[in-house]
């Protein structure tokens, strides 16, 4: 792959690579760039870097480019790279690690809607203990200013009795809140 001079300058800073390996517990060094992961990736056509390139970039310590990439958010978590990698590189676990690092370090990357989705989805669990689709989707629409997209679909679901109006009741919802509190800190 080609590197810009800006990227080339960052090469040689091994701390990032080391940290990703530690957190993900994944043996990145075994990757021999066979491209199996990227060929089978269902969203490869939409990513700015392919999964095999992300692995290489992590090895090289290109922290900023990696954490700002659209790839880490577009990854649909389908587990096919994990299943097919001949060297047991857990590419998805690496993606998870990178997403978590990007959020915790407040990195604003190219992809904005998907992180908001995750935040909204988890916010609903935090509040109710279970997912409440209707209020979650409405809040997501407000946050992403996408008020009219999919409106027809939502109405259809409601009419079919497939969206609950009232949120769920979980007695242990305070236990769930406690879990959210305790996992807020460090990775």
Partner 1 sequence: MKYAYYPGCSLESTARAYDLSVRAVCRDLAVELEEIEDWNCCGASSGHCTNYRLSHALAGRNLALAEREGLDIAVACPACFLRLKSTRHEVRADARLKKELAELIDLPYEAKYDTKHLLDIICREVGMEEVGKRVEKPLTGLKLVPYYGCFLVRPPKVTQFDDPENPQSMDILMDALGAEVLDWSGKVDCCGGSISITKRDIGAKLVSEIADAARGVGAEAIVTACPLCQSNLESRQGSQALPTFYFSELIGLSFGMKEANTWFRRHLVSPVALLASHGLL
Q: Which stretches of the chain bind ligand SF4, using CB under 6 A?
A: 31-37, 40-43, 51-52, 55, 75-81, 85-87, 89, 91-92, 95, 131
Q: Of residues 8, 34, 153, 155, which one binds partner 1 by CB under 8 A?
A: 153
Q: Are 172 and 128 in contact (CB under 8 A)?
A: no
Q: Are 74 and 43 in contact (CB under 8 A)?
A: yes
Residue 149 CA to residue 123 CA, distance in Å, equals 21
Residue 16 CA to residue 1 CA, distance in Å, equals 20
Q: Are 62 and 14 in contact (CB under 8 A)?
A: no
Q: Of residues 43, 142, 151, 155, which one binds partner 1 by CB under 8 A?
A: 43
Q: What are phi and psi of 116, to 5 degrees?
A: -65, -40
From residue 8 to residue 37, the character string flagging contacts with partner 1 as x (rule: CB under 8 A) and all else as - is ---------------x--------------
Residue 151 CA to residue 159 CA, distance in Å, equals 13
Residue 187 binds: one of partner 1, ligand SF4, none (C-beta under 5 to 8 A by kind): partner 1
Q: Contact positions toward partner 1, by CB under 8 A?
A: 23, 42-43, 46, 74, 76-80, 82-83, 95-97, 99-100, 103, 113-115, 117-119, 121-122, 125, 129-131, 133-134, 137, 140, 149-150, 153, 156-157, 160-164, 168, 170-173, 175-176, 178-180, 182-183, 187
């Amino acid at each position: 792959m080609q590197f810009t001079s800006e990227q080339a300058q960052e090469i040689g800073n091994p701390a990032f690579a080391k940290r990703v390996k530690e957190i993900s517990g994944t043996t990145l060094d075994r990757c021999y760039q066979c491209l199996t992961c990227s060929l089978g990736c269902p969203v490869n056509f939409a990513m700015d870097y392919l999964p095999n390139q992300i692995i290489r970039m992590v090895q090289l310590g290109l922290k900023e480019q990696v954490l700002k990439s659209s790839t880490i958010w577009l990854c649909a978590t389908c587990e096919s790279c994990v299943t097919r990698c001949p060297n047991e590189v857990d590419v998805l676990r690496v993606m998870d690690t990178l997403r978590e690092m990007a959020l915790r370090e407040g990195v604003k990357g190219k992809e904005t809607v998907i992180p908001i989705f995750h935040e909204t989805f988890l916010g609903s669990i935090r509040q109710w203990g279970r997912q409440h689709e209707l209020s979650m989707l409405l809040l997501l629409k407000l946050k992403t200013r996408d008020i009219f997209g999919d409106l027809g679909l939502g109405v259809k679901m409601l009419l079919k009795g497939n969206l609950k109006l009232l949120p769920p009741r979980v007695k242990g919802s305070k236990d769930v809140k406690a879990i959210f509190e305790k996992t807020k800190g460090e990775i």
